[in-house]
Amino acid sequence: MKKFYFINKIEFVIHKYIKKKYLLNNLKLEIFYNINKKINSDITIVLFPLLKIINKKLDIIGKEIGKYLIFKKLIKNFKLINGFLNIYLEDFYYINLFNNSILEEKFCFKKKIFKKNKKKFIIIEYSSPNTNKPLHIGHLRNIILGNYIYRLYKFIGKKVIRTQLINDRGIHICKSMIAWKKFSNYKTPKKTGIKGDHFVGNYYVLFEKLLSKNKKIMSLTNNMLLKWEKGNKEILNIWKKMNYWVYSGFSKTYKKLGVNFDKTEYESKTYLLGKKIVKFGLLNNIFFKKKDGSIWVDLEKYGLGKKLLLRSNGTSVYITQDIGTAIKRFKNSNIQKFIYIVGKEQERHFKILFTILKKLKYKWVKKLFHLSYGMINSPYGKMKSRYGNVIYADDLIKEMIILSKKSIKKNFSKKYKEKLSKIIGIGALKFFILKNNTKNTIIFNPLKSIDLKGKTSSYIQYTYVRIISINRKNKFLNYSRKKKFFYIKINKYEKKLIKLLELRHNIINNSIKNFNPSILANYIYDLCKEYNDYYQNIKILFEKDEKITFFRIRLSCFIGKLIKNFMEILGIEMPIKM
């Protein structure tokens, strides 16, 4: 983790002083910047580790260290409170920190936290829907999280490939096909005016309703799946037609969200490889066959029970397809990491998959990672697509845009109002999802997500618009962008903002190491909150001293650009007027 320059310097001087005075080596004290408003000092040093190894009271040790730092002209003052040495820095420390930040602007605030390896790349698999229903609210969390992870890796200079694995075959797909074949009278999305994925999803719901009244129709899907795997032309033609309708629907939803994929894979093209691997495992006694002809793997010693790999009729299951897909992907040895983004209800599934691959002696299994996340529910409780009571992604996006349009008070042109309502609405949806810890189950509330006074993207977007309006109004636009500031007096609000700015690289680092967008999202919100506090209490454009005025403008502009760059990582667009 990156430490601040002056903390590094102070830490070095302290450790050198303790080593010389008390003959102590390998001592590491905890030293950190104070961001909390309740703590008035700039830096705090935790002295408790010294209590066990130096035969002196902590206040005496603290005074010795504090006086030495003043003697070295590293600090302005210090105060001891219950084993904590609180340090106060001179204004020029903050000015220098900000000068260093300005130099970084031309690099768009990027920091290569990890070593860049041009030959290796990271693959992220997300969305990966089924072709029997539209994308719903659950998919939204997956897609928005996957897009964030992709953008974050790109930001730090990694080579990343976005992929989706379309679940385009199996029993569930056959359910929609059976219902359409029997009850549609050959209607199409074009004839009905219904979006393709919603059209097919309606037949999936219809099948489930029919199944609740007559369990015997399930045998029709089993027969259809057998015919599909044998290459029956009529069944394949229906399958291709209905899948095309769904794909065209998905692409429209992705476009609304600003999401793209570098590669799309299909389970229909990998399940046969999975079946071959299962048969290979059976021949090598890795798997076993039951009397009914079904093939299983015994994972009892791993606490994962026994898992079906091939049904007695020879058809494959989900895990079979996943085995084949993983092996096909790793024929390319340049993969540094493969990240599956799938809900935490599938954690057991991925433990089983990774364990099977280990049993098959594939060394690259250690490169696989399952990024699980909590459920996203509506205020109305848990939903199931088979019953048709889910909130579909298209409907939610539409609702967010309508709510946003109502919240726009200013008299913008019709064209800009349409654009702004999309920026605000979709941004609100993304930020609400990303501000929450990945592991937590969340309940999405459209009205709360768009509240201008809450922890929302609307609040952040408004702050950004406020900052760029300052830039438009100021008279210093022709000043050199490389101009530095020396020996000006700064206030407590500016110190707080510079401290927050210095956290930016650590925030990116922590966010990617923990795969947690809430770290970054909440940092942006905190920065905006502190900036608005600054804006309300300090005159930015009307200071008598031009040097101070220019400093405040540059500080504001720097914060604005950082907000925009970091919101881009979250996949959120920023407006120019609001």
pLDDT computed for residue 476 by the predictor = 54
Q: How far apart are CA 71 and CA 156, in angstroms?
A: 40
Element counts in the chain: helices (H) and strands (E): 21, 14
CB 263 within 8 A of CB 163: yes
How confident is the model over 61-99, as pLDDT tens digits?
Answer: 889 888 988 888 888 889 988 888 888 888 877 887 787
Mean pLDDT, to the nearest integer, of 347-360?
A: 96
Domain ranges of the chain: 5-89, 121-387, 407-569
- The answer to whether 400 touches 433, Cβ cutoff 8 Å, is no
Q: Please, are residues 205 and 199 in contact by the beta-carbon 8 Å criterion? A: no
Rounded CA-CA distance 521/519 in Å is 6
CATH topology for 407-569? Isoleucyl-tRNA Synthetase; Domain 1 (1.10.730)
d(Cα 466, Cα 220) in Å, to the nearest integer?
Answer: 62
CATH of domain 121-387: 3.40.50.620
- State the Cα–Cα distance between residues 538 and 438, nearest whole angstrom: 37
CATH of domain 5-89: 3.30.1360.70
- Cα-Cα-Cα-Cα dihedral of 86, 87, 91, 92, to 10°? -150
The predicted structure's pLDDT at residue 423: 97
Residue 335 bridge partners (DSSP): 121
Per-residue pLDDT, 302: 95
- In which band, very low, low, confident or very high, does the pLDDT at 385 lie, cut at 50, 70 and 90? very low
Provide φ and ψ at 376, rounded to 5°: -120, 120
Checking if the pLDDT of 30 tops 70, the result is yes
> Which pLDDT band, with edges at 50, 70 and 90, does 480 fall under?
very low
pLDDT at 2 over 70: no
Q: What is the pLDDT of residue 5?
A: 54
Are 342 and 130 in contact by the 8 Å Cβ rule? The answer is: no
Global confidence as pTM: 0.87
In this chain, the answer to whether the domains covering 5-89 and 407-569 adopt an identical fold is no
Where would I find the H helices in 382-440? 393-407, 414-434
Nearest to 426 by CA among 469, 462, 456: 456
User: Among 53-57, 144-148, 435-439, 506-510, where is mean pLDDT lowest?
Assistant: 53-57
